Structure 1
Amino acid sequence: MSHVESSYDVVVIGGGHNGLICANYLQRAGLSVCVFESRLEAGGGLCTEETTIPGFLHNLASVFHDAVEIMPAMKDLELARYGIEYVKPEVQLGLALREGRPFLQYDTVEKTCRAIERRSHADAVAWNAMAEGYDEYFRTLIMPALYAPPPKPSEQALALEETEQGRGFLRMVRATPLDVACDGFVDEATRAALLFQLLVPRGVVYDSAGLGMMIPLVVTGIEQSHLAKGGSHHLAHALWRALISAKGKLRGTLRVSEIVIEGGRAAGVVLETGERVKATKAVVSAIDIEQTFLDLVAEKHLPATFRKTVASHKPDEFSLFGVHVALREPPRYRGAALEPDLDRACKVGVGFESTADFHELFADVRLGRLPERPRLFACCPTLFDHSQAPPERHTAFCWAIAPYHLKDGGADAWDQHAAAFAKRCLDAWREVAPNMGGDNILAMRTLSPRDIPRKLENMREGGVFGGRMTQDQLDAFRPLPELSDYRTPIKGLYLAGASQHPGGGILGACGAIAAEAVAEDLRIHPWWS
């Protein structure tokens, strides 16, 4: 069957938020851009579905949008005009402990310190001191760096050496999050609350060498959880509306099967339908690097050593097991008797009570064992946005940190263990919220680590962060040193996925920086600067 070849200046592979942001910037720079998305609804992890009962909306991947107050695309693309609205819960975090007073973190340092004071005077003082010491530093230096190409390691160190805060930051770069949490705070619940918040949405494990500097980021509260009204897919809708308004194109349910290379340069794509699409100036891949180089680029166009290096890229260290429920009433936590605000916390940690819990959990994950006692991230979005469920009804979910590959049976073994593990998760949730069972649960849907790449194939091995967040895959080494500037060994082929600096989560940085790289090479003025 013959196909008429269509042509654009830029073709973007993948309609997740990074691909859509990149496309929006380039379309507004005067280029003709088309995004190809394999799923029916663009947005990647921004997927909201009625997966239990009609009228009950469940966010199956992305939920906590912590960077919307600092994300340049929100203002640059005027996304509020295209329908996206957010709510920021006052109570950002609660740890539901089996005994004793819960830990609470609020949307301001002052309110958080008042809550910590009720547990530990020493930690309240230490929290306030760390926040005051690093707030301006993070706002003026660290956060803007998320939206710029990563500097060389030596350049970063030289800049940090100039100030007291910078030298303190360098010291934390040599420590683990556990080291910094234990050095700075005495209460086990405070330490657990800090380490808990690094896992989701940041993908940072408690004992990762060189990532201790993430602790002040949590303490300052510069990044705060926001929930998209109407569900996370409303951000995707705003992005594609903005693109269409700018005369860009988005074509769904069309899978790219090949990146066309002509004369050593990316010249377009071939779709699974057989249609060829020409890209006269650039092809931008907003999917993972494994699909890009091992599946879509023919082997003859890349050195064997490069393909081997791509294949060695380390996936996320852990995955998430999701239990999504339709409810008659929201979770009611036992700990609310001591701290009533626990019942209106955005994120609730279950089973994260001390540093020992992290040791135990990751001992299981690293050996591929199903945790006997699941540790959960719980959230009830309808406490803050009633539009996601029918009147006087609610939706909620819990994520359990879990391995992708099980010791016995590998990833496919999740299919036989999912139902039993979901029950184990609900049992753990009910231990601290007794109403999370019985006729309060109207319906349930699970999403196991194995189900994640079945639904969103860009999330390889059930990883939602685009690759392991360790020092050898961060900054100038993310995802690989030779790919860290968003360019590739093939001229005209660029990368914009979560594999790039600064990583996963709804930051919008990977798409924005990729657009800047394309504009620079084409000598187009980046209007957004």
Structure 2
Amino acid sequence: METKRYDAVVVGSGPNGLAAAITLQREGLSVLLLEGKSTIGGGMRTGELTLPGFQHDVCAAIHPMGAASPFLKSLPLQEFGLEYIHPEVLAAHPFDDGNAAALYQSLNATAEGLGDDGATYRKLFSPLVKAWPLIEHHVLGPMLKMPLNPRRLALFGMKSLQSGKGIAARYKGKEARGLWAGIAAHGMIPLEAFTSSAIGFVLTIAGHRDGWPLSRGGSQRIADALGGYFHSLGGTIQTDTMVEKLDNLPQASVILFDLSPRQLLDICGERLSPFYRWQLNRHRYGMGVFKVDWALSEPVPFTAETARRAGTVHLGGTFEEIARGEREVWQGKHPDRPFVLFAQQSLFDESRAPTGRHTGWAYCHVPNGSIQDMTDRITAQVERFAPGFQDIILGINAVNTAAMERYNPNYIGGDINGGVINIAQLFNRPALRFSPYRTSAKGIYICSASTPPGGGVHGMGGYHAARQALKDVFKIDVALSR
């Protein structure tokens, strides 16, 4: 590796690594970004996984947090090729009777579709959607800090710290309860657990404010736009460079790792204090994912018309069925009817498949480290709500948790969230410290999904970590405009 000295080195080019590198470079520092793979992106990659001409998102596919991210919004990424496509139906939730509930960007349109539960939905979400600009920097950052708007933050906290089951109890109809279950289940913890509402609230609020878009051309375009902007600032990217030891890195005043705690221990263990190492070793990883991509001869024939117009479709039926399946996964089991997160990007982006053809993207939750093949169970769930689906499949690519971790070593046991986001790890992610981004070693920081605010393509962890490093080492205090 080159011997040039840099002000900062960032290891890992996922959304947080890129965000950290950009934040540092914008302050006039010399920054080197290192990536172990041949292309940048982490979870933001796209490739021909099934048949030639079919472009599939390898991990992240739909980007509510990308559209909502204060950091990404602050960048001129459109000038570097990023274009978001916004489906009219953000997320559909079909039922066995052929009907479907739906999440729209319009809060009123969503509420109107929930019948008698519409008033409850408005009462629950309207104040939070309005207050979001005043609390987003706190919710999407370190929790152990003084809030600027404590009253509004308390309103969010009182609701989001509840269980998903508790919130569902406010609704009477299966439509509102099912729609809520599908969104809350993104959190990858049992819906009976405290804080299992948090992700559901954040994603719903994000949808009503900024939509649930997809990136034209694939998620790789987000990474490419971030990388292009970083280059335009004078930053340096070096790919095909897997970092295994701290001593192998170029000299720098600060080093930021977009890596999981386990990798940080492997690379920096000797430099970290015994107590901090103990804390990192206690970091708990959560459910893994089993993912399937399909090349399709035509659009997915969902029975519910609303599902045929949705970017995202949640497949699992009633709240009770989804809650039972997620609970079984938490207990180390494999549900016969898993909750499936399905996306159909080619309906809205013609570049994803040859003319007249389409793609399907889906995953379900499985126990951490599971290697059980869930392809047939996932396919059956799609077929359940889209009879005839199996007849339009041209090609399949399936990936278990081991393959997910090989693709991205941050996905320990297939956990794409960087660790469980439950009550035990909400405030001590990945360790209980005033700043979760500082390690115990001077000049070394962690900025991955294992830090607040957790997983997703938003870059906020990288931004906050870089901001901490700028303040600690370079005496520069930066903040995003509100």
- Conserved 8 A contact 2:64-2:203: no
Q: Secondary structure at the match of 1:127?
A: helix
What's the CA shift for 1:509? 0.3
- Per-residue CA deviations over 1:82-125 (Å, capped at 9, x if unaligned) read 111101111011112112521122121121122222xxx2x011
Cα distance, 1:203–1:361 mapped onto 2, change above 3 Å: closer
Task: Confirm or deny that 1:181 pairs with 2:174.
Answer: no
What's the CA shift for 1:363? 3.6
Structure 1's unaligned 5+ residue stretches are 261-269, 271-275, 406-410
Alignment of 1:30-49 (within 5 A): 30-49=28-47
Cα distance, 1:206–1:23 mapped onto 2, change above 3 Å: same
- Conserved 8 A contact 1:29-1:525: no
Give the structure-1-normalised TM-score: 0.85
Cα distance, 1:401–1:233 mapped onto 2, change above 3 Å: same
Matched residue, 1:447: 399
Task: Confirm or deny that 1:313 pairs with 2:299.
Answer: no
Separation of aligned partners in 2, 1:69 and 1:174: 24
Separation of aligned partners in 1, 2:64 and 2:362: 18
Cα distance, 1:13–1:464 mapped onto 2, change above 3 Å: same
Matched residue, 1:497: 448
Tell which deviates more after alignment, 233-242 or 304-313: 304-313
Q: Secondary structure at the match of 2:244?
A: strand
Give the structure-2-normalised TM-score: 0.93
Cα distance, 1:372–1:362 mapped onto 2, change above 3 Å: same
What's the CA shift for 1:385? 0.7
Task: Confirm or deny that 1:365 pairs with 2:334.
Answer: no
- Per-residue CA deviations over 1:63-90 (Å, capped at 9, x if unaligned) read 1211233323334331111111101111
The one-letter amino acid paired with 1:150 is M
Separation of aligned partners in 1, 2:307 and 2:452: 35
- Per-residue CA deviations over 1:277-318 (Å, capped at 9, x if unaligned) read 111x111111112111x210143x3333332221110102x1
Q: Secondary structure at the match of 1:334?
A: coil
Matched residue, 1:208: 193
Matched residue, 1:459: 411
Cα distance, 1:290–1:218 mapped onto 2, change above 3 Å: closer
Task: Confirm or deny that 1:290 pairs with 2:283.
Answer: no
Separation of aligned partners in 2, 1:259 and 1:207: 42
The one-letter amino acid paired with 2:228 is R
Separation of aligned partners in 1, 2:358 and 2:160: 42
What's the CA shift for 1:56? 0.4
Task: Confirm or deny that 1:199 pairs with 2:194.
Answer: no
The one-letter amino acid paired with 2:290 is F
Matched residue, 1:435: 388
- Per-residue CA deviations over 1:224-265 (Å, capped at 9, x if unaligned) read 3110100000000011111111111110011111114xxxxx
Q: Secondary structure at the match of 2:313?
A: strand
Matched residue, 1:151: 144
The one-letter amino acid paired with 2:192 is D
Task: Confirm or deny that 1:134 pairs with 2:85.
Answer: no
- Conserved 8 A contact 1:217-1:223: no
Separation of aligned partners in 2, 1:223 and 1:177: 23
The one-letter amino acid paired with 1:132 is S
Alignment of 1:346-361 (within 5 A): 346-351=311-316, 353-361=317-325
Q: Secondary structure at the match of 2:365?
A: strand
The one-letter amino acid paired with 1:433 is A
Alignment of 1:209-358 (within 5 A): 209-212=194-197, 215-220=200-205, 221-222=208-209, 224-260=211-247, 270=248, 276-279=249-252, 281-292=253-264, 294-299=265-270, 301-316=271-286, 318-335=287-304, 340-351=305-316, 353-358=317-322
Matched residue, 1:263: none
What's the CA shift for 1:159? 5.9
Matched residue, 2:11: 13
Task: Confirm or deny that 1:124 pairs with 2:124.
Answer: no
Alignment of 1:104-119 (within 5 A): 104-117=102-115
- Conserved 8 A contact 1:89-1:107: no
Structure 2's unaligned 5+ residue stretches are none
- Conserved 8 A contact 1:230-1:387: yes
Alignment of 1:512-527 (within 5 A): 512-521=463-472, 522-526=474-478
- Per-residue CA deviations over 1:434-469 (Å, capped at 9, x if unaligned) read 12112x111110011221101111111100111100
Cα distance, 1:311–1:35 mapped onto 2, change above 3 Å: same
Q: Secondary structure at the match of 1:473?
A: coil
Cα distance, 1:106–1:310 mapped onto 2, change above 3 Å: same
What's the CA shift for 1:211? 4.5
Separation of aligned partners in 1, 2:477 and 2:161: 39
Separation of aligned partners in 1, 2:409 and 2:203: 30
- Conserved 8 A contact 1:198-1:205: no
Separation of aligned partners in 2, 1:450 and 1:213: 28
Cα distance, 1:173–1:369 mapped onto 2, change above 3 Å: closer
- Conserved 8 A contact 1:62-1:232: yes
Cα distance, 1:204–1:225 mapped onto 2, change above 3 Å: farther
Q: Secondary structure at the match of 2:68?
A: coil
Matched residue, 2:437: 486
Q: Secondary structure at the match of 1:390?
A: coil
What's the CA shift for 1:188? 2.6
Task: Confirm or deny that 1:473 pairs with 2:458.
Answer: no
Matched residue, 1:266: none
What's the CA shift for 1:400? 1.5
Cα distance, 1:258–1:126 mapped onto 2, change above 3 Å: same
Cα distance, 1:223–1:315 mapped onto 2, change above 3 Å: farther
Cα distance, 1:38–1:502 mapped onto 2, change above 3 Å: same
Tell which deviates more after alignment, 358-367 or 13-22: 358-367
Cα distance, 1:210–1:349 mapped onto 2, change above 3 Å: closer
Match among 55, 58, 65 for residue 57 of structure 1: 55
What's the CA shift for 1:166? 5.5
What's the CA shift for 1:218? 5.0
Separation of aligned partners in 2, 1:216 and 1:307: 33
Root-mean-square deviation (Å): 2.2
The one-letter amino acid paired with 2:384 is E
What's the CA shift for 1:55? 1.0
- Conserved 8 A contact 1:147-1:513: no
Cα distance, 1:218–1:283 mapped onto 2, change above 3 Å: closer
What's the CA shift for 1:4? 5.5
Separation of aligned partners in 2, 1:485 and 1:224: 29
What's the CA shift for 1:126? 1.1
Cα distance, 1:208–1:138 mapped onto 2, change above 3 Å: farther
The one-letter amino acid paired with 1:249 is T
Which segments of structure 1 move beyond 6 Å, counting only runs of 4 or more? none
Cα distance, 1:16–1:218 mapped onto 2, change above 3 Å: closer
Matched residue, 1:265: none
- Per-residue CA deviations over 1:337-372 (Å, capped at 9, x if unaligned) read xxx222111111222x22321342134213322221
- Conserved 8 A contact 1:333-1:343: yes
Q: Secondary structure at the match of 1:98?
A: coil
